[in-house]
Amino acid sequence: MKTPLYKYYDQLIKKLGPQNWWPAETDFEVIIGAVLTQNTNWKNVEKAIGNLKKYNLLDPLKLLQIDSETLGELIKPSGYFNIKSKRLKNFLRWFNENYSLDIDKLKSQPLDNLREEILSISGIGKETADSILLYALSKLTFVVDAYTYRILTRHELVPYEIDYDGLKNEIESELPKDLKIYNEFHALLVNVGKNFCKKSEALCDKCPLNKFLEGKSPAI
Ligand code: SF4
């Protein structure tokens, strides 16, 4: 018997199809994108990553070696560039000191240790850490965000006061332990949050999750 959230996943994959995240050519590019996407839209991240590619800098050692100001200039399109430049540098220094900039060494670590370590890097929050772990390092950890919270609270599946880890644990307890499902379900919820379940309006009539509302009227 499928859990409620597994049924949501089934419905979304059927109606919206695979989202094929993360849009990147390498695992390292996923990590850079996960840091840059904080508080901005993906188009701006693409421009910043495009600049790094243009100068052939999408490489851990090269990014570690360039100075923060130059890095900040290159990633300017992603916004908050001084802060993000520092965050990238913090990540790269940790990556170099602990894993010799070797992504396979990172991947070989157990999830719990690695999550704790990544969360100890200044400026890296839970959503960014879980995005890196799931999409770059193929670790079985679910990524939650404001879209996830909005959809699940509007469907009265979780309480309003739930925090990041509570929401993540709730979803993980309802899904099969399957990387592909974790990968797609987060991306599908982002799709729903952007296109149907918006902050200021809920386009329930057009939304693929409408059938699960069962007479509830979502609070906006
Ligand atoms: S059915 Fe309505 S409340 Fe539910 S996710 Fe879609 S837009 Fe949001």
pLDDT tens-digit map of 202-217: 999 999 999 999 878 8
Amino acid (one-letter) located at 158: V
165, 127 contact by CB (below 8 A): no
The CATH T-level fold of domain 27-136 is: Endonuclease III; domain 1 (1.10.340)
- Which atom of ligand 1 is the closest one to the Cα of 192? 5
Q: What is the three-class DSSP state of 197?
A: strand
Among residues 123, 127, 108, the alpha carbon closest in space to that of 165 is found at 127
* Portions of the chain given CATH number 1.10.340.30: 27-136
Q: Residue 136 has what pLDDT?
A: 98
CATH topology of domain 4-20+144-212: Endonuclease Iii, domain 2 (1.10.1670)
Residue identified by tokens 């009227």 is: 217
Query: Which ligand 1 atom is the nearest neighbour of the CA of 202?
Result: 7
Handedness of CA 42, 13, 219, 131 (dihedral sign): negative
pLDDT digits (tens, 9 = 90+) for 30-83: 999 999 999 899 999 999 999 999 999 999 999 999 999 999 999 999 999 999
Using one digit for the tens of pLDDT, what is the confidence trace for 121-177? 999 999 999 999 999 999 999 999 999 999 999 999 999 999 999 999 999 999 999
User: Measured between alpha carbons, how far is residue 142 from residues 5, 28, 30, 179 in Å?
Assistant: 13, 19, 16, 9
The 10 Å Cβ neighbour count of residue 133 is 23
Backbone angles phi, psi at 142, to 5 degrees: -85, 140
Instruction: Verify whether ligand 1 is closer than 6 Å to residue 24 (CB atom).
Output: no
Domain with CATH 1.10.1670.10 in the chain: 4-20+144-212
Q: Quick one: which atom of ligand 1 is closest to the CA of 218?
A: 3
Give the atom of ligand 1 at the shortest distance from the alpha carbon of 154.
3
**Probe residue for ligand 1, chosen from 156, 190, 196 as the CB with the greatest number of ligand atoms within 8 Å:** 196
- Distance, in Å, from the CA atom of 44 to the CA atom of 33, rounded to the nearest integer, reads 10
Q: Which of 155, 157, 190, 216 to mutate to test the pocket of ligand 1 (most atoms within 8 A of CB)?
A: 155
Query: Measured in angstroms, how far is the CA atom of residue 204 from the centroid of ligand 1?
Result: 5
